[in-house]
Amino acid sequence: MGEEDGKKMLGELQENAKQESGKSIGYKDMFNPKHPMFHPTLVTIMGQVNQALTGYGAVSVYGPQIFELLGYDVQLSEYLTQGNFISYFFLMTFAWLLVDAVGRRTVLLGGSGALIACFLLLTLFGGLASESSELGIPRQAVAIPGIVSLFLATGAFGIGWLATIWLIPTEIFPTTARAQGTAVSVIIWGLANFAVTLLTPILFNNLKYWLFLVFAMTNTFAGVWTYFYQPETGGRSFEENQEFFDEAREAGSWRVGKVRDGEFRNLPYPKPDGEEGETQPLLERVRDQL
């Protein structure tokens, strides 16, 4: 960015600050369906709900019990849980490499897809592990793939859903509502994770390995909602992101594909003439970022 571009952007920010200085947005406005902030608020709420539905809260809290279900003793299950957290620590660093290179939607959808596959595999391997003696299958033959699936599921959450969902509210709320939007995001995060963590032991004790199938379905819901209703906010200024909500109100639909011909499904990139709008192929965007 050159000096002239920097001065122009500074001027725009100062002008926007002046325009917003006299406006006041309260929590009541954010939950008023007729208010412009209602749509961004619902996007924020559903993002946190969907993050809780990924099932990572259960994996993080009840990891040892899951490894015991796969056939390991208490001590080894605790060691495996520690190994899972260490793997999680390293894998989640890929989030900051990818979130701007491929976009928020791509990271979220990729995380949902990986989690669905991993939980389906855990359902299969958990069932085979519980019946391995009757079926004559060596326990390690199904327990080890189950461990790999759980490690990958944890990494998929760390890359796709851990930080990304916290980034989006900062890009869709104006300064006059950003504090309120962040507060709503934190409150919904707490309530959603409380509900999932509270229900998990009840479901786990009654459903056993079928609980993983439940999480596969909740991740499917999260992925479908994200695909249809989560706009791509990366690579755009607040004003450009606000255009999505304005256009959605005019179009009478919150579906991303129906707002401005689906322009907000992908990252923007500069055309040869300097305008914004079309979608750059994914591999080219990653190459340019690297």
Phi, psi of 223 (to 5 degrees): -65, -40
In the numeric block, which tokens belong to residue 251?
């179009």
Residue 49's contacts (CB-CB under 8 Å, 6 or more residues apart) are 188, 192
| Residue spans of alpha helices (H) in 163-271 | 164-167, 169-172, 175-207, 211-229, 238-251
Positions of the chain with pLDDT lower than 70, given as ranges: 1-2, 5-7, 9-10, 12-23, 269-290
Please tell me the distance from the alpha carbon of residue 94 to that of residue 27, in angstroms, as a whole number: 35
Residue with the two structure tokens 């928020």:
104
How far, CA to CA in Å, does 204 sit from each of 9, 65, 142, 192, 200? Answer: 53, 9, 20, 18, 6
pLDDT in tens, 88-97: 999 989 998 9
Element (H, E) at 36: none
Structure tokens at 57: 């809260």
Nearest to 269 by CA among 235, 223, 218: 235
Amino acid present at 157: F
- Provide the whole-model pTM: 0.84
Closest CA to 106 of 279, 245, 288, 246: 279
